[in-house]
Amino acid sequence: MIRHTLLTSCLLFITLITPAYSRQVRPSPLRQNQKPALPYVTRAGNTSLRLAIGADSAIVDLKNDIQGCVGKLYDSFSTMKVVGKAIPGIKVLDRVAKDNNYYVVVLTTATSNCNIQGQCGAADDLTLIWLKLDSHLKLEGKKAIAIEQCRAFLHCSNPSLTMMDMARPSNYRRAS
């Protein structure tokens, strides 16, 4: 009888302990494939982004990186009358967590010229911006490149040409 009770107690103990022990030894397959959380990116004003993850948050100002007009739009033909505020478009293209850092890639679109009646007044400039942030969302690096800029090559070949001269095909040299 004592043997039977002892054997039952041992089997009961092993049955109760085994599931807890096996959970400690083998991690769940769901935890192994779990990806790190990415920062939540929203707009914070005209030219800034708000990044947040957990309790950490940061605001990154992109004003000096955006190509084009980020101020007030005006009309030069109506005595410089302000016609509105230039609000650049900001689109998040990618967010990545790698090596205890976060990387965010942003595409911005802004009016090329604040003078809407001037050269490139109806065109848009596109800027690609890359952000590197540490684990607490502190900005560690930022790079920006204009991928489309209307005013960049306006007078590169011959600065003395006027817009009317540039419209004439005879003013262009052929490549030899």
pLDDT digits (tens, 9 = 90+) for 7-46: 666 555 666 555 554 445 555 555 556 677 899 999 998 8
For 121-126, what is the mean pLDDT? 86
CA distance 11 to 131: 59
pLDDT digits (tens, 9 = 90+) for 128-172: 999 999 999 999 999 999 988 887 765 554 455 444 444 444 434
Query: What local confidence, expressed as pLDDT, does residue 172 receive?
Result: 41
- Name the region of 120 (left: φ>0; alpha: ψ -120 to 50; beta: rest): left
- Locate the domains of the chain by residue range: 35-152
pLDDT digits (tens, 9 = 90+) for 90-113: 999 999 999 889 999 999 999 888
